[in-house]
C-alpha cells in the first residue's frame, strides 16, 4: 500500500520515515519529496508498505501524531492522475 505523509518538518529524511514506519511492519520504500533546484524537503513523503494490514495499522497509529513539533497527516495515497502539462516558461 502506498501511504501519503504530509506536514513533515523540513529536517525529516528518508531514513527517519523508514525507521518510524518500520515499527509497524515491513517498509519497501520511504521517500521525502524534495525541490529539484534546492534539494530541500517539500514537507511531504510517500511510504510503501507491502502488507495492507500493517499499512493500515501504521496509518491509524501515526495520523495526527506529532513529530518535530508538527502534526503529521498520514493517509492512503490516492492513485496518480494525469494532469495537463503546465506552461511555466
Q: Yes or no: say if 63 and 72 are a contact pair by the CB < 8 Å rule.
A: yes
d(CA 30, CA 42): 14
pTM, two decimal places: 0.85
Sign of CA dihedral 10, 26, 29, 72: negative
Angle at 31 between CA 86 and CA 89, to 5 degrees: 15
Instruction: Set out the domains of the chain in order of their start, with CATH numbers.
Output: 2-70 (3.30.70.330)
Cα–Cα nearest to 58, from 87, 86, 17, 89: 17
Along the 89 residues of the chain, how does pLDDT read in single tens digits? 999 999 999 999 999 999 999 999 999 999 999 999 998 999 999 999 999 999 999 999 999 999 888 999 999 998 877 666 666 65
Amino acid at each position: 500500500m502506498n501511504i501519503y505523509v504530509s506536514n513533515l518538518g523540513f529536517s525529516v529524511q528518508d531514513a527517519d520515515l523508514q525507521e518510524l514506519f518500520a515499527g509497524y511492519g515491513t517498509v519497501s520504500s520511504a521517500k521525502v519529496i524534495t525541490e529539484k533546484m534546492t534539494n530541500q524537503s517539500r514537507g511531504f513523503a510517500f511510504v510503501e508498505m507491502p502488507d495492507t494490514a500493517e499499512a493500515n495499522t501504521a496509518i491509524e497509529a501515526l495520523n495526527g501524531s506529532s513529530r518535530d513539533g508538527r502534526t503529521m497527516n498520514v493517509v492512503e495515497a490516492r492513485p496518480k492522475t494525469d494532469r495537463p502539462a503546465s506552461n511555466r516558461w
